Amino acid sequence: MSDFYMVITNFFSEGGFFIYPIGLVLAVGLAIAFERWAFLTRERIRNIKAFESFLPLLRTTDMDKMQLYTRESQAPVTRIIACGLDMMTVSKQRADIENAMNEGMLETMPRLEERTSYLAVLANIATLLGLLGTIIGLIGAFTAVAQADPAQKSELLSSSISVAMNTTAFGLIAAIPLLILHSVLQSKTAKIVRSIEMSAVKFLNIMTMHRLIEAGITRYIEKETGVERTEVKEIGDELPAT
């Protein structure tokens, strides 16, 4: 254990100035990753619980109770459904309700995705800082060797290159886990989004089955004597139950 501690201590003491900004980048990245992981885990659990509680109300088709529940709940899935319920007071067309829910999804997505992209940026910064530290270290090494006594040149060059390589190594040590965490958090976010979309589709299908919304409209355009005519046909009653 003491040998490992000595190796780490020597690594940082010999790494030069750029070790410290790379370490700061790594610390900031890990803090963001931990905060995002905790947030996404909480949102996933809250979405599951909220929709499970909402599902019995949905099957009763009690609009007042559904609207009351969605106003009280702060889960993303219920806020998106609330957009659909609000639209139902204006239009019964499924396409209009879907558009309203898609708008709610666009409002929810930034909260799920925010700061995750910073991890990829920080990983690139760590790598570039490592390379910059290496280049500056090598420049300093060759400058010192040029002015040193011939008997000391080999020793100075060896130690200086070792310091420069430490900077590159630490840059990669910081960048690799940040990139992995970025990928993991993106996957976790995508799973939450898919679960919200699936819940929204279930909401639409159940409401369609109970004929509280119409399945859609068909439009066709005919040209007669150079004039376009649009005719709308409601088909909600023709669809089979889903």
pLDDT tens-digit profile of 94-127? 888 889 898 888 888 888 888 999 999 999 999 9
Is 89 a domain residue?
A: yes
Distance CA 191, CA 98 (A): 20
Look at the block and give the residue holding tokens 């649009």: 230
Q: Which helix (H) or strand (E) covers residue 56, if one does? A: helix 19-60
- The answer to the question of residue 231 being in a domain is no
In tens, the pLDDT along 133-176 reads 888 877 877 776 666 666 666 666 666 677 778 888 889 999 99
* Bridge partners (DSSP) listed for residue 234: 217
- Residue 221 is assigned to a structural domain of this protein: no
Looking at the domain assignment, is residue 225 inside a domain?
Answer: no
Per the prediction, the chain carries an average pLDDT of 79
- The number of beta carbons lying within 10 Å of the beta carbon of residue 55 is 13
Task: Tell me the mean pLDDT in the region 181-185.
Answer: 95
pLDDT digits (tens, 9 = 90+) for 24-71: 999 999 999 999 999 999 999 999 998 888 888 888 878 888 888 888
Task: Please report whether residue 227 resides in a domain.
Answer: no
Range of the domain at 134: 2-215
- The dihedral built from the CA positions of residue 181, 187, 190 and 192, taken in this order, carries a sign that is negative
The structure's pTM equals 0.75
Per-residue pLDDT, averaged over 75-95, amounts to 88
Give how many domains the chain has, as a whole number: 1
Residues 6 or more apart whose CB falls under 8 angstroms from that of 63 comprise: 85, 88, 212
The answer to whether residue 18 sits within a structural domain is yes
